[in-house]
Structure 1
Amino acid sequence: MMPLMASIPCWALRLLAVIAVVCTIALGGVHNLGDNDFDDFVADLPEQALLLVDFYKPGCRHCQRLNPVLDYLEAEWEKEEPDDSKRWFKLAKVDIEKNPRLKTVFGIAKLPDLRFVRAGRWGTYQGGRLIEDIKEFKERMALVPLRFVDADALTGLARSSEAVFVLSANEDADPSTVAPGVLLAATLSQHEATFCTTSPEVLASLGLGVSGVSPALVKVVAGQGGRLLQPAAYKTERGTQGVNDDSATVSVAAASSWSVLSWVERERFGLVSDLSPDNFMRLGSLGRLMVLGVFDPKHEATRSFRKVFGDVASDMGVRHSERLMFGTVNRVTMPGFMETFNVYEGHPQVIVMDIASDEFYTLENMRMEVGEMEAFLIDVLAGFIPARVPSTNSARYAMKIWWLVQKGGAWSFLLLIPVVALVWVFCDTPQREEARAALREVRKTERDGALRRKNQ
């Protein structure tokens, strides 16, 4: 075989390679997409499908090395499943020279650039460019099977996790059939949340579950003493799927992975979260009051304060999960709170903040005890404590500016200089107005004097 290959001219081998690639594309192959058909192709993808897109340029040498890898994989997977509509992992290419709109939309700079999309969520492929690397990526992104658990296993999961999201369905039910949105949501958030499935009878034996709804998705946590609690169940938004009551629990049979993921993200932060510039505004926009435990790690009362705050969160956070979200704020890593909310130096403090209205609630000289904190929160929910406005004009804008400063470092200060200069120039103050009035009087006097001298 080798002597035969050696006797074939080099140009003939290249021609055969070109013909093979052309035939592969003609018979199916990697999808070649452009500005006109890209959006429709992505929109028509099944929710569980994953599309890996190669943004390339014909003259790019690295792109030329990747092309045969993708063609080989496409040919191999086409042999396994000839029907492209039945394959969940798909490949596509976009020539950025012919499709400048897509290049601009995705901000393509370095080539080749591999992006992937699943259930409307885009990501950047960070792995290698070899055949084995992309195969490994495909295996890693395959749907994660939901583990069916009994009462003992569910109890163990809840005690070892912050929260467990349980699909209530019969043991012989296939999650990919009865609740495909939940299965895909579990796959997309497998590193952030714990999912499993169990029967309605198991949940009922633990005092949990939703009667009359199947399949249902519930959140299970371990309360004090290890007893399992169910603080929430999947609900639709008001007026969707024929449900007019926004507190009604509904079946997840037709729920999309996007709605399930949104619900899971809200419920994951039902207990205490460590707040930072990265997640503060995102968590605050979930529509719940933020109960903030502000502390100084060097203060002697911090340890006892955090324990009391955690006990309050485990109780109030479960009973009022739809209205309250608990988080801790380290004054060292988030110093903007000191000035914005008048946090006293060195002392732990509890602040209830409403991001939507830029208002907050606090109680000075509050004893750091469970009963005192819970009474304060109940009074806030009942409207007995008046809201206060931060010392700055807007807590939301103050946090955003502070977040930019934290992220941008010295560059953010350079960007703020022209803003401050514009404010200084165009914003009137009484002193500046008096100075301008005096200057106008001087100029008027000089002008009148000049006119008199001219007339003389």
Structure 2
Amino acid sequence: MLCHWFLGWNPPVTMVGLVKVVAAAMSVVALARASEVQVLSGDNFHDATSEGFWLVEFYAPWCGHCKRLNPVLDEVAEEAREKGMLIGKVDATAHAKLSESFGVRGYPTLKFRTSPNEEWKAYSGGRKAKDILGFADRMLKDPLTHVTSKADLDEFLESTANVGVGFVIGLGESGSDGDAFEAASSLAKSMQHRYHFAFTSDAAAVGIDRSGNFLASLEAGEAPKFFPGALPTTAGMKEAEFKAAEEWIGSNDTPLVSEIGGHNFAKLGKQEGKLLVMAVVDPKAPETRTFLEGYRAVARSITTAADPEGISGRFVFGHLNGVHWAEFVKQFNVIGDLPRIVVLDKGGERFYEDPEVNEADEIETFLQQVFAGAIPAQREGVKGTLNRYWKRFKALGPSGMLLVLPFLLLILACVLTPGDDSDELETQAQERAVGAAAASAAGDASASADAPKETKKDQ
């Protein structure tokens, strides 16, 4: 004891005290880990995710989109845990068997499950911090929000800002009682992971000019859209009768003007019979806000046009961060000088653009001309490569023309050389090689860019 006193240290009086100290330390470590993205593997996945609400990322270490997403997940992990959602990640290249069991075909793939009793589902929302935290809020509340006043509806629509639109179900006088409410709850629950739902028994009180039972798609500041079919009235109705409402919701879930990113580019660009209008902007430029307000007015004017020719259903509108996606938009002849308008026909692998179009009245006229077929289309991909490089060299002036001359001669030689026209792959390879060499001579990188879309290897 004298030795202990001399050293200024008093040992634990009992083993119980030591156990308490160790337990406290372990709880601190466990709490710290819980606030982080949990590293999951084939060995611990099922045990670790056996309880609670989980969002899990399957990633590849080399994946560019994964490298951008991982810091976001790290940023929101603690706040998400406080809300009630845990976040985990799996290296899909190291745990291939586990990844295959989840049907992972590209990276990153995000899956979620709100409880052990549910199946894992694909997360298809945005990948910004606000999107992920908004998803947690949406999934941890009742699938139907009760709105009884205009203020309630405004608050509900404000909560949908991260997805753009919300859906309101009118239940007439039945309110939250009876089969109609059970049917509405069932519909909302099945689609809660993608959308916000509310219900009202007094449409007039919340500012919706509709009577009886209805289903409406609403966006703040815009006129509502109404489901033209009969709303399901019993939870036990046949699947086909719910399917019509679900399909309508899926085709009316796009806001008037979407913020384009990796999570929605493919969907926006592949809407049947529609062209994607992209306003390519610099978000930090002082003129961007005014430009987007005018652009939104054009979108509203065209989508609500009473036009028998059908222009109102021909376009879907969005805006794209032209600084972040600078390499991608080069293929559409957008090289700086923002804002710009590009109309994209993904199905036809074509696009329309005019560098002089950047005012609201010019945009509307330009779109009317595109619709009328008065604007010539340009080609995407390899077929449009040479045209894009030609425009770049023209922008360089006389020095650019001197640089491009040898490559024009090379192209001419390729064209005049006899060959097998059926060998399209070889022709495309030659075009790629010529385009890449020309870009190198001009001191410019290849126009091939990281598109805001998901691919099988890099989602």
Give the alignment's TM-score, normalised by structure 2.
0.47
Give the alignment's TM-score, normalised by structure 1.
0.47
Higher RCO structure, 1 or 2 (CA under 8 Å, sep 6+) = 2
